[in-house]
A and B are shown apart, each in its own frame.
Chain A
Amino acid sequence: MRATPALAALVLIVLVAAAFLFSDYHLFQLTMVVVYAIAILGMTMLTGFNGQISLGHGAFYAIGAYTTGVLMTAWDVPYWATLPAAAVVCAGFGFLIGLPALRLGGLYLALTTFALAVAVPQVLKYKSFEQWTGGVQGLVIDKPDPPFGLPLSPDQWLYLFTLAIGAAIFLLVWNLARGRIGRAMMAIRDHALAAEAMGINIALLKTRTFAASAMCTGVAGSLSAIAIQFVAPDSFTVFVSITLFVGLVVGGVASIPGALFGAVFIEFIPNLADQVSKAAPGAVYGVILIACMYVMPSGVGGALARLVRRVARPGRRVG
């Protein structure tokens, strides 16, 4: 375990250095990787640690993005101040969805959240909200400039800003998972009845996990709105939710570093597959998703963790 903080610091240093090595376009891609990693981390908390399956986290991603978009265009709120607002709004929505989710077994929750993801674009297009949401047209957001006269390009600043938020959230989630609450979340996942017998308030913890998870994904959505400088209903179809789910599974559902691998996967694989044909990204996702379920159910993160353990303790056979 002592190797983990060192490794994480190394990754962070490499990521910071990247800001000064890559072109603006590649920096934008890296920004999106960090954004997706935060979004997937929210799902890791919910699905990986707590065992609740969501196929609708794109909805929270959209709500976060729209919170930022509306605040910035309608009320001229500075971009950094919209993040806490998005976090609060998404946590609220997450709590509301988490309440009926309490009564649902794994499959029904997946189904309900799937329905949520399908319904979201229609709500965003709804005429009565048009004065805020911009209807079908969406909203255009200004690109933030680096503050305090720092000698950075806007893309570099945006990347470093996103990276700082991402690093903070990863640290928080890592601490959460190792602490009492994290253990309780996993206990509920592994054996709800035994967890309850040990004095864990299942209902409270499950809804709170849902809220925290939605908050995390919502902040990611908010950052994505700032990075893309545009929000529109058609960017938040059900495929966003499915993409995040694919990233979660490929990275490894219960692995914190896995969120980063999943994010790299969903940012770069569609670009590569798109060159083959328009239909290819979906097919590649589908095939890899099924392949993961058969041969690598714990994802890239799980496979790496096993590898690290094997290298660290060669005497003992693990897994």
Chain B
Amino acid sequence: MMQGVLHQVISGIATGGIYASVALALVMIYQATHHVNFAQGEMATFSTYIALTLINIGLPYWIAFIGAVAISFAIGVAIERILMRPMENAPVLASVGVFVGLLLIINSLSGWLFDYTIKQFPSPFGSGTPLFGGYVSSHELGSTAVTLIVLIAVYMFFRHTRLGLGMRAAAFNPVSARLVGIQVGWMLALGWGLAAAIGAIAGMMVAPIVFLDPNMMAGILLYAFAGALLGGIDSPLGAVLGGFAVGIIENLMGAYVVGTELKLSVALIIIVCVLVVKPSGLLGRKVTSRV
């Protein structure tokens, strides 16, 4: 029994890492623009298809990995500059509409360019024998490591570089940031690019487990939402912790309480519970509005 629980927790951490990455991508866009990107999952799926295409034309895995991340970054920047810029001060309904439209377009683009059949996606960490007495597969270990590296890199970028500071300033107070000479518009575009790149990595890490098809990320996006809300939608650290927590909760609930068939409902329950009990999340700031 104890070993079973331990096994579930460890594989929960592995999937939680992927939720944490997508949650981080969501929070980055939310912090900068106060929009929730409903298309984040579809963007990640599309990036994964790009990676698969690069691998299929014969590039080594890590070159294809870097290529896909770079292309995704460019797509993210382009979407912000072309589609989102005019929506800066639009009402919530308009931004939700644009995001849902983007979701539909990217989803059908994936299906149209790469067809709807389910595809296998290679893992760079091999499918070797489980490690540590059967608790962890080599892919789980490798993808968790990649996720942690990404998270640490993002943290270092925001803490210790000029550009990261500029982006935080642009998100925190756009007017003052503009006055001290930060190009706020480009900072937002950069945020979109980074979010798309992080999403791409998450997609490539999850694809070997769930297989690749145009709707691959629908469920994952939901868990990432749940993770972001649990940690606090305006806190990057919270999003990461929330993502890991949701991964563990999902696995334990799936194994012992509701069974695998109702796993998605777990995400819904987490979302509703967080919003009812503590809407600002574990690490988020309380929002007060001026009258």
Contacts and interface: CB of A to CB of B under 8 A. Distances in A.
B272 A293 contact: no
B261 A125 contact: yes
A92 B261 CA distance: 25
Interface string A278-289: 111111011111
B116 A286 contact: no
Interface residues of A, number: 47
A246 B103 CA distance: 12
A253 interface: yes
B264 A107 contact: no
A297 B86 CA distance: 13
A107 B36 contact: yes
Contacts of A245: 97, 100
A264 B86 CA distance: 29
B211 to A, nearest CB: 18
Interface stretch (A2-10, A14-22, A64-72, A98-106): A98-106
Nearest to B110: A279
Nearest to B287: A105
Per DSSP, chain A at the interface is helix
A55 B96 contact: yes
Interface in A77-117: 100, 103-108, 110-112, 114-116
Contacts of A123: 262, 265
A111 B271 contact: yes
A294 interface: yes
A111 B97 CA distance: 13
Contacts of B104: 242, 246, 282-283, 285-286, 289
B276 interface: yes
Given A115-B225, A115-B271, A122-B263, A53 B105 contact: no
A200 interface: no
Nearest to A59: B268
B272 A118 contact: no
A55 B219 CA distance: 15
Given A277-B112, A290-B83, A282 B225 contact: no
Interface string A253-280: 1000000000000000000000001111
A161 interface: no
Interface in B232-264: 261-264
Interface string B95-113: 0111011111111110110
Contact of B96 (A100, A110, A126, A278): A110
Interface residues of B, number: 46
Contacts of B34: 107
A312 interface: no
B100 A289 contact: yes
Question: Chain B binding site: helix, strand, loop or mixed by DSSP?
Answer: helix
Contacts of B98: 289-290, 293
B108 A293 contact: no
Contacts of A107: 34-36, 92, 96
B36 A287 contact: no
A84 to B, nearest CB: 28
B107 A282 contact: yes
A53 B261 contact: no
Contacts of B106: 286
A305 interface: no
A310 interface: no
A115 B222 contact: yes
B87 interface: yes
Contact of B101 (A114, A116, A253, A289): A289
Contacts of A285: 101, 104
A122 B264 contact: yes
Contacts of B279: 103-104, 108
Interface string A216-246: 0000000000000000000000100010011
A249 B97 contact: yes
Contact of A282 (B105, B218, B264): B105
Contacts of B267: 115, 118-119
A127 interface: yes
Given A282-B104, A283-B105, A293-B94, A238 B112 contact: no
B109 to A, nearest CB: 7
A238 B264 CA distance: 12
Interface of A: 47, 53, 55, 100, 103-108, 110-112, 114-116, 118-119, 122-123, 125-127, 193, 238, 242, 245-246, 249, 253, 277-283, 285-290, 292-294, 297
20 contacts: A100-B272, A111-B225, A112-B272, A119-B222, A122-B261, A122-B263, A127-B261, A242-B100, A242-B104, A278-B112, A282-B107, A282-B108, A282-B111, A283-B105, A286-B107, A287-B105, A289-B98, A292-B97, A293-B90, A294-B86
Interface of B: 34-36, 38, 83, 86-87, 90, 92-94, 96-98, 100-109, 111-112, 116, 218-219, 222, 225-226, 229, 261-265, 267-268, 271-272, 275-276, 279, 291
Given A111-B229, A242-B104, A246-B104, 19 more contacts: A107-B96, A110-B38, A112-B271, A112-B275, A114-B222, A114-B225, A115-B268, A123-B265, A125-B261, A127-B261, A279-B109, A279-B111, A280-B108, A286-B102, A287-B101, A288-B101, A290-B97, A293-B97, A293-B98
